[in-house]
Structure 1
Amino acid sequence: MRSRLSQLSKRHRYTLTSLFLSLIFLLGMGIGCLSGHGFSENSKFQSFTKELFKKEVSGNTLTLHYTLADPEAFGISGQKASLGTMDTDTDSTRKLCKDYLHKLKAFDSHRLSRQNNITQDTLLLYFHTQLEGLETPYLDEPLGPSLGIQAQLPVLLAEYAFHQEQDITDYLNLLADIPSYFNNILEYEKQKSQKGLFMSDAMLDRIQAQCRSFIQDPDSNYMLSIFAQKLDALEALSDADKIHLNQVHRQILIRKVIPAYQALINGLEAFRGTGRESCGLSHYPGGTDYYCYLLKSQTGVYEPVAQIRKRLLTQLQKDSAEVSALAAIHPSLLTDYAKGTDLPSLAPQKALLFLQDCMQNDFPSLGQTSYQIRYVHKSMEKYLSPAFYLTPPIDTKEPNVIYINQAASTTQLELFTTLAHEGFPGHLYQTQFFSQLDPDPVRSLFNSGGYVEGWATYVESYAYQYAATLINHEDAESLTRLTALNRSINLCLYSLVDIGIHYQGWSSAQTADFLKNFGIRDASAVSQIYQYITETPGNYLKYYVGYLNFLDLKDEAQKENPEAFDLKQFHSQVLQIGPVPFPVLKKYL
């Protein structure tokens, strides 16, 4: 099982915001103030989204910094460095969401441009969905062994770019703010504990182990070396300034950050035993409804769960039939596959260049794009994905950074398709293509995980095709196709297990019985699958159901006009609409 299913590439923009969008600007803002003489409907709408963007992007410093390299150019200044807080005040948030929906509906969609229509529909659907999530605020879990705040925060801070000297000060203040932020999270976890909604002891153990891994050797913590490297690259700083800043940084790390992680470990320990054993959301009050909300908000798909499950089973049957057909045509294929036929060793940079060359016939041209390959620090290897992409600020469009986890036990073919997922024609390519269209900045604040991760999973199927040219095998295309089908079947099984655990209430034994039918019998592997899915509800579906939606859209377009269908043009249309929930994508495609 690949553990590439990290949200780091998208979540960095909002991981540390309050539980729900603050939207406090709505208290003093009305459509009336925009309806003066000379304003077109498009002008009024863009003024509205501009104010929304400015207010929301300022919610915390990480959101602001990772979204904008130069906030002052957008009229944003004087922000105090802060990581934000957890907020469970659902009454005020509900009122603000409803107020916001009312104001959005006041715009005449027939007088808006196509792009503004897309933005309006996306925001309307987003806030309708958020209202559903407000019913069960204590089922949210900000912590987690690999996808939690405490696991991603070191990487986000280590990658905090220094565009100007003020950024250094803000970064140091953010480090100093970690104790306060973790205390706020502990208070939230205390409330969850009191309501009987605390995490399982098994999940607690894994979170504590991740925290201990990060702090076990403070004097050689990777944040120290990365900070020093970034300072070295700043020519405006004197050597004396760099020495002083490195000393200050070390003091904050030793006196603030490390103790904060230890306090988080100790604070969580106080709640041990107050949660349930590892189980799905359906076992909690309101859990089934919350799961339905998660599927909408994370996958961008709005069909009933039963219909999603039916689509998964259909794909499972289709992929299994194709595997059988391949095996019948090529009797030795399964044997060769079992032997582990692989790609020759290919450096990540060369693999990305090769992918860019191969994709020209299937995807629209992007032009020159710079990117960097970096490697996960050893202290974080156990808890981070095999690879992930960090998106750049929208006003600079760089740097584009792909991280590779060298501890991940992947084959060369798996690494190749992983680089396609994170790079070309995956996340990096999709992000850069859309950004070059200069979309409304507010679009950058609303995550469309099903589109983003679904697209990156969808393009992997092309990467398997491209990889065939590198394999020394008489039927390389069939071999890579078989590998792609196996990948699809595994993701489909995990998605079905996700629904089984969180919607149907499967126990670990029921999960084991289901997986046994598909040859997954190793007790340790089954236990790991069950534990991971209980900790990250809906995560697999974001990737796989998103992928299936792109497959279905392509099939519909081909059937509608098979003779005129152009694959590159289809991909261009999808990319131009950009990340949106699938009902919006289908409407405008």
Structure 2
Amino acid sequence: MKNTFKKLFISFTVLSLTACSSTTMQDNTFAAKENKDFTKYTNQLVVEYAENDYTTMHQFFEHPEDYGIDINNVDVSLGEFYTDNTEEIKEDQKELNKFNRSTLDKTQQTIYDELKYENELSLKAENKKFQYLNNCWSTMSGLHQSLISVFSEYILRNEKDIQDLITLINDVPRYTNDVLEYTKEQADKNTLQFDYDSVTQDIQDVINNKADSSITSALYNAIDALNLDEEKTTSYKAQVKDAMDTSFFPSYQAMLDTLTSLQYNIQPLQGLSNYKNGKKYYEVLVENATSSTDSISTIKENTQSAINSSITKFQKLYKANPMISYELDSVSTDFTDVNQILESLQKNYKKDFPKVKTMKYDLKALPEDQSVSGIVAYFITPALDYSQNYQMRYNKRDYGDDPSSLTLYQTLAHEGIAGHMYQAQYNKEHLKYPIQFFYNNLGMSEGWATYMESMSLHYLDNNKDLLEAYNLNNILTNLYIVLMDISIHYDGMSLNDFKNEYGDMFSSEGLESIYNQLADNPTVFLSYYYGYLQIVDLKSTAKSRLRSKFDNADFHNALLQYGEVNFNIVKQSVNEYINKNR
């Protein structure tokens, strides 16, 4: 599972190519017992992942030594911005092919299939023709945002972690310089494209807030939480401040200076197909984003079909109540506190999902200087051996703090229950092999969490027709975003053509904003919305074939039981559930 794009140190929105290829589960023949040699092989892969990248080790393990990881072999750094992993991937595939698939048990076969197609897609992404098409300065997950996320949420578990943290902060200039050198090369090749005004303003804000940085404050709080003696605490805080002042904030000034100098080399926001090899690059991104081997034409057909179906359903509701469209803006919940939302979801999810242990969590609003427009909230991926409360953050600055907001309710369902937090707890209780926690199929994980947004509406006491209309309105918007992304990046649609194509559904001003966001962040929303569509299509198939024998909890278990795998494996699992219960 190689991150085959240039490594942007992004904890929560990292774009890593671990998606699907043409490989599918081959047959239903599997060994009755675990193949211990294969288990040893996958466990060694986990050790290699951790020992080759400090940030991976720190994020995924509280006690790495329990997994055979030697922390003395790990270089404390932010890693390399870009390395060519082609030969390493080929070697990994050669080692994997040494195993006879039929000697593996059922779960191990899904691991085998997952590793195989990840390697295949990674090799596609390593194509040097794509080398200068990556956007390191996207508004949602660029370097300037990533570093804030990483250090503001950095986990300190012991005194050694503080020392490593200081080393990482002091490594920011090196890493930033590598990204800036790449940016200059993009400028020379006329492939540098990003939202200049927005990015430079965000960078300037970090510099302006240096004296009152919430990032530094968060690190101080993390040091305090370790309860070291006063002398050590004071000393470490001074070292962190020095690292921030001499390494972190000067790196942001370097970003600003370099990007300002390149201002007139930046290309206008436009689709990837406008660049040489951009169309092929987009195809690889789509595979990654959707966790699916569906072709782009198939994605368009499936999405348009779902749009037509949703419109028909909405029209039926409108016919019964012509005022329903005007009532959508007024729909809300009865919650008076954000924590009440998660308490309610924790109580109600058991009606439809496999029961897990009670989830303990900390929900906090983001400080203003850490809030990113376009990101409503996020869940912090826990370590495999995580022993503390789960952590969630929400953007209070841009999306308000109204506990009765239906948008906030659905957001916490997405990030919390039965979305990402629930899935993390389910994985902790059900997954057997450490390697299964390293999958990163965004189409499955984000599709699942988006699916939970719709499911959560069933637990409210509002008028059911109104909630259904609200849900359909959201679904239609989301599905149009899928088509819009393809229109921009694959069909090469200009802003004017884009407005003409979608002007009947959205305002002209809104369309320009949508165009710019999608042009700046190709495929980022496909994980959510086409991932969602694949799940609801599987559910529709299961319901039609099982009828009265269909059970929500059993269906959801079939979706989740092998971890965040690609949809080829998910479909096989759902088919097995259907055939078992017919």
Give TM-score, length-normalised by structure 2.
0.90
Q: In the alignment, what sits opposite 2:46?
A: 53
**Cα displacement (A) at 1:373:** 0.6
Whether 1:208 aligns to 2:208 is: no
Could you tell me how far apart the structure 2 residues matched to 1:319 and 1:380 are? 37
Task: Decide whether aligned partners of structure 1 residues 586 and 341 sit closer, same or farther in structure 2, where only a CA change above 3 A counts.
Answer: closer
Name the Cα RMSD after superposition: 2.1
Residue pair 2:18, 2:439 contacting (<8 A) in 1 also: no
SS in 2 for 1:372: strand
The CA deviation at 1:426 is: 0.4
Q: Matched residues in 1 for 2:469 and 2:236: separation?
A: 54
State which drifts further: 553-562 or 312-321: 553-562
CA shift, 1:335, in A, is 2.9
Question: What is the identity, as a one-letter code, of the residue corresponding to 1:214?
Answer: V
Q: 2:339: which partner in 1?
A: 349
CA contact (8 A) 2:154 2:219 kept: no
Q: Is residue 437–residue 563 contact of structure 2 (8 Å, CA) maintained in 1?
A: no
1:345-386 CA-to-partner distances (Å, cap 9, x unmatched) read 431211101011122111110112211111111112244622
Paired residue for 1:26?
Answer: none
1:477-496 aligned at under 5 Å gives the runs 477-496=464-483
Q: 2:179 aligns with which of 185, 203, 217?
A: 185
Checking the alignment, whether the CA contact within 8 Å between 1:16 and 1:149 is kept in structure 2 is: no
Shift of 1:53: 1.1
* C-alpha deviation, 1:445, in angstroms: 2.6
Name which of 68, 73, 76 aligns with 2:66. 73
What's the secondary structure of 1:143's corresponding residue?
Answer: coil
- Contact 1:376/1:406 (8 A) holds in 2: yes
Change (3 A) 1:384 1:229: farther
Q: CA deviation at 1:269?
A: 2.5
After superposition, residues 226-375 of structure 1 pair within 5 angstroms as 226-235=218-227, 237-338=228-329, 340-375=330-365
Q: Residue 588 and residue 342 in structure 1: after superposition, are their counterparts in 2 closer, same or farther (change >3 A)?
A: closer
**Which letter maps to 1:378?**
E
Equivalent residues in 2 for 1:553-572, closer than 5 Å: 553-572=538-557
Structure 2 residue 533 is the aligned partner of structure 1 residue 548:
yes
Rate the CA distance shift 1:108–1:397 in 2: closer, same or farther, 3 A: farther
Query: Is this contact kept in 1: 2:431–2:561, CA < 8 A?
Result: no
- Matched to 1:478, the amino acid is D
Residue 82, structure 1, aligned to residue 77, structure 2: yes
Partner residue of 1:534? 519
What residue identity is the alignment partner of 2:476?
Answer: I
Determine helix, strand or coil for the equivalent of 1:139: coil
> Structure 2: which 5+ runs fail to align?
1-8, 20-32, 575-582
* CA shift digits 1:284-328 (9 cap, x unpaired): 111111111011112111111011001111111111111110011
Letter in 2 for 1:399: N
Question: Which residue number corresponds to residue 117 of structure 1?
Answer: 109
**Distance change >3 Å, CA 62–CA 400, structure 1 → 2:** same
The CA deviation at 1:500 is 0.2
> Would the aligned equivalents of 2:138 and 2:520 in 1 still touch at CA under 8 Å?
yes
Closer, same or farther: CA 88–229 of 1 in aligned 2, 3 Å: closer
Kindly provide the CA deviation profile for residues 222-267 of structure 1, in whole angstroms up to 9, marking residues without a partner as x: 12221222222222x1112212221221121112111011101112
Q: Secondary structure at the match of 2:393?
A: strand
Unaligned runs of 5+ in 1: 1-9, 22-39
TM-score between the two structures when normalised by the length of structure 1: 0.89
Describe the SS at the equivalent of 1:374. Answer: strand
Q: Deviations over 1:563-585 (max 9, x none)?
A: 31111111112121210111121
Local SS of the residue matching 1:562? helix
- Find the residue that maps to 2:549 and give its secondary structure: coil
Asked if residue 98 in structure 1 is aligned to residue 93 in structure 2, the reply is: no
Partner of 1:43: 36
Tell whether the 8 Å contact from 1:299 to 1:546 is kept in structure 2 after alignment: yes
Map 1:160-171 onto structure 2 (within 5 A). Answer: 160-171=154-165
